[in-house]
C-alpha cells in the first residue's frame, strides 16, 4: 500500500498523532535530525511507515535547500523498510522528481524509468494527475485551510541556504503569517540570533515588505527587559530579513496553551510584564 493510501486508512486519532509528529519534526528540523527522529518512531504504530515517508519528503526537500543534493536511493539504503529500487512507493519517487524540478536540477523521465522500471507507469500516472507528493503532510481536511497552505508554500519558497550572508543557518524555529524564523549564528559577532525572513509573494509584496520594515523599525525603538532586541534589518540576494535577540525557553503560545495548569498568580505576572512592555511602546510613540 502506498504511503498516501496508508494515510487515508488512518483513524482520526491516528491522523492527529501523525500530524503532531510531523509538525514537530518540521519545526525542529536540522540537517542531521532525521536518523534520531526515525529511531523514535513507535515501532508498532499504524502510522509509523506513513510518518517515515513524510519525514523523508520533508528532509529531502530541505536538504536540497541547503545544497545537499541527496537521491532517493540514499534514503532507501538508510531505511530499508521504505523498500528498494524495485518496490519503493511511486509516491516517494515522485517526491524526489518534484524536489529536483523545484531546485532547477535535471528531472528526466527516462532516467527515472532506468532507476525504477517497476514503478514507472504508476509514477507517470501520479505526475499526470497534477497532485504534488510534497503537499501531503498528513493534514486532515478539518485542519487545513488556505492560509495554512499559503504559509506552507511561502516557507518552502523561503527555505534558506546554510550560509545566508554573514549568518549561518542552524535550523528553522517556526513560521507565521508574515514570515519564517530561523536560529542562526552571526559569524561576524559570534552569537546566536533569531533571523526572521519575510513571506513576500504576488500582488501583496509591496504592502508586506513595507509592513515588515515598519515592524523592524518599531521593534528596534523599544528597550525593555520583556522585549527581544532587534539587531539588524537588511536583505541578501533579494531576501529581506531582520535579526533579533535569541532567547531560549517556552513560547508565549505554548505558555498560554497550558494555562489550565498555571497558577493565577503566575498568569497575572505574565500579563503584568506584557502591560509594561506595551506601556514602553506607547511612551516611545510606536
pLDDT score of 45: 87
| Residues 6+ away with beta carbon under 8 Å from 186 | 166, 167, 192, 193, 231, 243
Q: How confident is the model at residue 166 (pLDDT cuts 50, 70, 90)?
A: very high
pTM above 0.85, yes or no: no
Calculate the alpha carbon distances from 281 to 245, 253, 273, 276 in Å. 18, 21, 13, 9
Judged against a pLDDT cut of 70, whether residue 244 lies above it is answered with: yes
Helix residue ranges per DSSP H, 116-245? 120-129, 146-157, 205-220
Separation between Cα atoms, residue 192 and residue 209, nearest integer Å = 25
Question: Considering only 49-63, 93-107, 133-147, which range has the smallest mean pLDDT?
Answer: 133-147
Long-range CB contacts (within 8 A, 24+) of 203-212 = 208/178, 209/240, 211/178, 212/178, 212/179, 212/240, 212/242
Which residue has cell 508498532? 44
Judged against a pLDDT cut of 50, whether residue 141 lies above it is answered with: no
pLDDT score of 78: 95
Residue bearing the bigger pLDDT, 137 or 166:
166
Evaluate the CA torsion angle 213, 183, 65, 52 in order and state its sign.
Answer: negative
Residue bearing the bigger pLDDT, 72 or 217:
72
Q: How confident is the model at residue 159 (pLDDT cuts 50, 70, 90)?
A: low
Asked if 199 and 178 count as a contact pair (C-beta separation under 8 A), the reply is yes
pLDDT score of 282: 56
Separation between Cα atoms, residue 98 and residue 103, nearest integer Å = 9
Question: Considering only 231-235, 250-254, 257-261, which range has the smallest mean pLDDT?
Answer: 257-261
Which residue has cell 536538504? 63
Judged against a pLDDT cut of 60, whether residue 222 lies above it is answered with: yes
Q: How confident is the model at residue 142 (pLDDT cuts 50, 70, 90)?
A: very low
pLDDT score of 250: 64
pLDDT score of 231: 92
Q: How confident is the model at residue 140 (pLDDT cuts 50, 70, 90)?
A: very low
What is the rounded average pLDDT of the residues 207-235? 82
Reference 65, options 214, 182, 148; nearest CA is 182
Provide the mean pLDDT of the chain.
79
| Residues 6+ away with beta carbon under 8 Å from 95 | 56, 57, 60, 61, 72, 133, 134
Which residue has cell 504504530? 45
pLDDT score of 236: 86
Separation between Cα atoms, residue 66 and residue 50, nearest integer Å = 25
| Residues 6+ away with beta carbon under 8 Å from 196 | 179, 180, 181, 182, 241, 242, 243, 244
Amino acid at each position: 500500500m502506498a504511503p498516501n493510501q496508508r494515510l487515508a486508512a488512518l483513524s482520526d486519532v491516528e491522523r492527529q498523532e501523525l500530524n503532531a509528529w510531523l509538525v514537530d519534526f518540521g519545526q525542529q528540523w536540522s540537517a542531521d535530525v532525521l536518523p534520531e527522529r526515525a529511531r523514535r518512531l513507535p515501532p508498532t504504530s499504524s502510522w509509523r511507515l506513513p510518518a517515515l515517508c513524510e519525514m523523508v519528503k520533508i528532509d529531502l526537500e530541505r536538504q536540497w535547500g541547503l545544497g545537499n543534493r541527496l537521491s532517493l536511493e540514499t534514503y532507501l539504503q538508510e531505511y530499508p523498510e521504505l523498500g528498494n529500487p524495485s518496490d519503493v512507493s511511486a509516491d516517494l519517487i515522485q517526491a524526489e522528481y518534484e524536489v529536483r524540478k523545484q531546485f532547477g536540477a535535471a528531472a528526466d523521465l527516462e532516467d527515472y524509468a532506468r532507476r525504477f522500471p517497476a514503478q514507472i507507469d504508476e509514477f507517470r500516472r501520479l505526475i499526470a494527475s497534477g497532485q504534488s507528493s510534497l503537499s501531503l503532510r498528513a493534514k486532515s481536511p478539518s485542519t487545513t485551510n488556505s492560509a495554512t497552505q499559503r504559509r506552507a508554500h511561502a516557507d518552502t519558497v523561503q527555505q534558506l541556504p546554510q550560509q545566508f550572508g554573514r549568518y549561518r543557518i542552524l535550523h528553522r524555529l517556526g513560521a507565521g503569517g508574515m514570515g519564517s524564523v530561523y536560529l542562526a549564528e552571526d559569524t561576524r559577532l559570534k552569537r546566536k540570533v533569531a533571523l526572521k525572513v519575510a513571506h513576500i509573494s504576488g500582488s501583496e509584496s509591496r504592502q508586506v515588505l513595507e509592513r515588515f520594515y515598519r515592524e523592524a523599525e518599531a521593534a528596534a525603538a523599544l528597550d525593555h527587559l520583556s522585549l527581544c532586541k532587534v539587531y539588524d534589518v537588511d536583505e541578501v540576494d533579494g531576501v529581506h530579513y531582520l535579526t533579533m535577540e535569541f532567547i531560549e525557553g517556552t513560547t508565549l503560545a505554548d505558555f498560554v496553551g497550558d494555562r489550565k495548569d498555571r497558577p493565577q498568580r503566575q498568569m497575572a505576572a505574565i500579563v503584568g510584564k506584557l502591560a509594561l512592555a506595551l506601556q514602553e511602546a506607547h511612551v516611545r510613540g510606536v
